[in-house]
Amino acid sequence: MWSLVFTVPVFLTSMVFMYTPGPKHLLDTKILNMMTVGHLVRWILSTPVQFFIGRRFYTGSYKSLLHGFANMDVLIALGTNAAYFYSVYSVLRAAVSPPFEATDFFETSAMLISFILLGKYLEVMAKGKTSEAIAKLMDLTPDTTTLLSFDSQGNVVNAEEIDSRLIQRNDVIKILLGAKVASDGSVTWGQSHVNESMITGEARPVGKRKGDPVIGGTVNENEVLHIKATRMAKAPVQKLADRISKFFVPLDIFFSCSTWLVWFLARKFDGYPKSWIPSSMDSYQLALQFGISVMVIACPCALSLATPTAITVGTGVGASQGVHIKGGQALESAHKVVCIVFDKTGTLTIGKPQVVNTRLLKSMVLKEFYELIAAAEVYSEHPLAKPIVEYAKKFRGDKENPV
């Protein structure tokens, strides 16, 4: 919003008021030699956008270059700085070297930063609308899990309870009997059966032994398992975008410099008429303007910005419709599906147990019975404990803990 506060006046003074008789006369009023009021106003307004509002791009560029590669922040910083500092040079030269007339591009740097920030804002909005749906996917996994540490001989030396969101790739976690699997991974120790109905719709528990894959959010039913966490695969198109971005930025810089050099040398060797050069420029400035144009136009790379957003939104929309998509690779592969075979458990049905009827074999008040049952089950992680506790709440008439 602050970027728009400064950028809209810059746009008006450079693109609208210059064609309106009254404001144009005021903006063309000379302050010092050939430097005008319009030049100074645009310089003042674009400076906070370039260096304060746009400082995130400088930070991102620094961190990117520190790790040995150039990302889109580098391209944005180069393009906007080229436009900004060329404009500063042009305005200062007009102030000290008449009759030189300045041609500034302050609106280019300010508007580019504003457009990119607007794009990121819309991206966040799109992701935000799916956050509630994606939360349903997160609810499948437990809040905490047990992280195991090993010595050089492979013996367990420490077991620590951590937040499930802190699990890293190759961490080994312990899954207790009746507990949910906290992450996608593979079994490194133990044998058990895992209930995968909430993910795959498979009604019967699936046997798991060392080396077998397990899915985050499924339930371990028999014995303790040790799971080595793995990372969810990226979609093929996202991997392609990542590979392209590594080469895109250096190539764009190369083509920008090449454009400037070709136009500069073309004039030196009379490659185009001198009449092509505006009266307020020389051949060097004209060539520089073309080079800056190439760099600036390439800044907002749709592929690198749109791909992660599309995957996030697609996953969220699926979750809102009750379809749990395990990552971008599955989402991208879905267009190849020609036939779907349903097992009713967990797919065509709601996928979770519910208490539908109770029959007491001894004379006992149903309310008292459920108070006792809920007290016993309220802290259990067994998949049947939760529906029992939820059903018990109906007898209390409120949503308080039934213990």
For 283, the token pair is 């051949």
Given this model, what pLDDT does residue 305 score? 59
**What pLDDT score was predicted for residue 237?**
59
Residues 170-196 have pLDDT tens digits of 899 999 988 888 888 999 999 999 988
**What is the per-residue pLDDT for 235?**
54
* Burial label, 57 (beta-carbon count in 10 A; 0-12, 13-18, 19+): buried
Q: For 348-359, what is each residue's pLDDT tens digit?
A: 666 678 898 888
Whether pLDDT at 370 is above 50: yes
The pLDDT score that the predictor gives to residue 263 is 93
Closest CA to 174 of 213, 132, 153, 144: 144
Q: Which residues, at least 6 apart from 84, have a Cβ–Cβ distance to it below 8 Å?
A: 46, 50, 105, 106, 109
Catalytic residue among 151, 184, 343, 398: 343
Q: What is the pLDDT of residue 236?
A: 62
pLDDT of res. 403: 41
Largest alpha-carbon pair distance within the chain?
Answer: 107
| 189-235 pLDDT, tens digit each | 999 999 887 777 677 788 999 999 998 888 898 889 999 998 655 55
Q: How far apart are CA 58 and CA 71, in angstroms?
A: 11
CATH ID of 142-229, from 3.40.50.620, 3.30.70.1560, 3.30.559.10, 2.70.150.10: 2.70.150.10
Listed by start position, the domains of the chain span 2-129+236-299, 142-229, 353-403
Asked about 343 being catalytic, the answer comes back as yes
Distance of CA 263 to the CA centre of its chain: 39
Question: Given CA atoms 298, 47, 257, 60 in this order, what sign does their dihedral have?
Answer: negative
- Nearest of 34, 178, 6, 21 to residue 102 by alpha carbon: 34
pTM of the prediction?
Answer: 0.53
Q: What is the pLDDT of residues 8-56, one digit of tens each?
A: 999 888 888 877 888 888 888 888 888 889 889 999 999 999 999 999 9
Edge-to-edge order in the sheet of strand 192-195 = 206-208, 192-195, 219-220
Residues 221, 325: Cα–Cα separation, whole Å: 24
- Which one is predicted more confidently, 292 or 372? 372
> What are the two backbone dihedrals, phi and then psi, of residue 36, each rounded to the nearest 5 degrees?
-105, 170
Cα 225 from Cα 216, distance rounded (Å): 13
